[in-house]
A and B are shown apart, each in its own frame.
Chain A
């Protein structure tokens, strides 16, 4: 009996989950498309290729290419409490704003995924609105509101404002992750004795973790390099790195900005690489 059943089952093994993509006679990429691709890539990368060498310059001015190399601007960045403090503020604001946006955005995505109809559509639009509204409009609106609430120039104000613009990114990425999520799994989980909260933690969250993670990263980076709202909310006691960079070129013309720019590029790139690395590790497991 056992053998016959095994044979029946074993005869049709499931298709391997990780199938190598086959090279099927795809047309070769034409030369002009390659050229166009390279030009576009250069357009995006060139500023970085200027900024990073510049940050290692020994000159007092923004001369390119630098005549002499040194680490003086990095030294300046890491010893000046104004620069270092603003970096710390930016990291703190971005982390808290990303956390808040991720919690709110994920909850909204999960909630809205179960709803259909006009009200759900309206709620979704409302949450996405900061993505299509010009930054300056959002900034002015937040500024006027926060003046009344006495939130300008405070950590809480920055976090709330940046979380609001981060929510759409989380909502979009978690919604798309939920598209591949089978709601029957939640019924199965409930039938096995798990409360809705436990089911969310043990079933839903692991299966949409990629979406949550990439949403969180977008929210973090959006906050980390956000400058318009931050300019309105700045105070002498609290400002973020982009605001300090803006100050340094408009008032002092301080080459330390090239060092800080390079750091921003490195931090943001590193953060975007996180899901790739995490994803690859999961796949090789």
Chain B
């Protein structure tokens, strides 16, 4: 496409995007605990990195530190190796997208998008050309003379996106940009953002508390939990190989079996059941030795009516079917597990009619499909 070639700057380094490196970053507002403590994270050039976490976990603070809206208490932030810790935001050359769009209400669409170019004293003809080009990139042509109040939320966020990338920033920071939109529009704009990330090829740092959005968009996810990073990895790594219980619970549903005894070798015990473990599924997290838990995803759990039907080598536990949730493409069996009746979930076929409420069954899974994580 011609757009990417014309939007891309002459500098080949920025064409592939910018590396953002956070080293031992701390932000302390003087409250009980620091908002962010000793975070180190390297975001590779051209990468789509999502900072995911519950509210108050420090993900937005981290983004604001990268943008320069907050000052560092300790640590360094560098862009392509150059320390920017003391640079004010307007000198960092980073584009930013806000949840409430933050369009200038007194300017038209074209004036909004031209704003960063005018600040950089780009020639008028060049501004007109680039504004038209970027509005086409975000699929919003012919709206140049509209004011933001005349556009829908989705259209406003596209204008904001155009404005944030038109000056070829070193990276694009996105602060929950889809949070204010309804579900359908979110999906459409997610696809849009992915496409633009591919076409522009620059580094994107995306903040969200929505795990589905994070998995859908990201090359890698940094999962935040009360001021530190819990785990960094691809969506698949975080989902399939969580290192901690927090990660396992935050991304997707899990059956969690807390282990009283952490000294396991080839087997673990839970409520009298003995389960074999695959060494490859034991998380490398150092915390694993103090307290740990077995985590099994609902889609990895099978249900049979008698012990003889449990496949050889599988781990199993007795269960009672408490409820069946119809989800369209599948059903979720809500189970009471073991003697304690701990709540559990298993994903079963939508057409499976062999299960009924109150059935005494056995839940089973392969040892390779379970994870042993730090609790």
Contacts and interface: CB of A to CB of B under 8 A. Distances in A.
Contacts of A6: 139
Interface in B120-162: 120, 139, 147, 149-156, 158, 160
A192 B151 contact: no
A5 B105 contact: no
Contacts of B116: 192-193
B200 to A, nearest CB: 16
B185 A193 contact: no
B103 to A, nearest CB: 8
Interface residues of B, number: 42
A114 interface: no
A234 B68 CA distance: 54
A195 B185 CA distance: 34
B269 interface: no
Interface string B82-105: 000000111101111010101111
A191 B96 contact: yes
Contacts of B119: 192-194, 198
A14 B102 contact: no
Contacts of A207: 105-106
B90 A187 contact: no
B48 interface: no
Interface string B156-189: 1010100110010000010000000000110010
Contacts of B173: 191
A68 to B, nearest CB: 55
Contacts of A199: 90
A194 to B, nearest CB: 5
Nearest to A2: B139
Contact of A191 (B89, B104, B185): B89
B104 A203 contact: yes
B192 interface: yes
B115 interface: yes
Contacts of B156: 14
Nearest to B151: A14
B147 A17 contact: yes
B69 interface: yes
A187 B185 contact: no
Given A9-B152, A9-B154, 20 more contacts: A4-B188, A5-B188, A8-B184, A9-B185, A12-B153, A17-B150, A182-B100, A185-B104, A187-B96, A188-B102, A188-B103, A190-B69, A191-B67, A191-B94, A192-B116, A192-B164, A192-B167, A193-B120, A194-B90, A194-B115
23 contacts: A4-B188, A9-B152, A12-B153, A14-B149, A14-B156, A182-B100, A184-B98, A187-B67, A187-B69, A187-B89, A187-B102, A188-B103, A188-B104, A190-B88, A190-B89, A191-B89, A191-B90, A192-B90, A193-B91, A193-B119, A198-B119, A202-B115, A207-B106
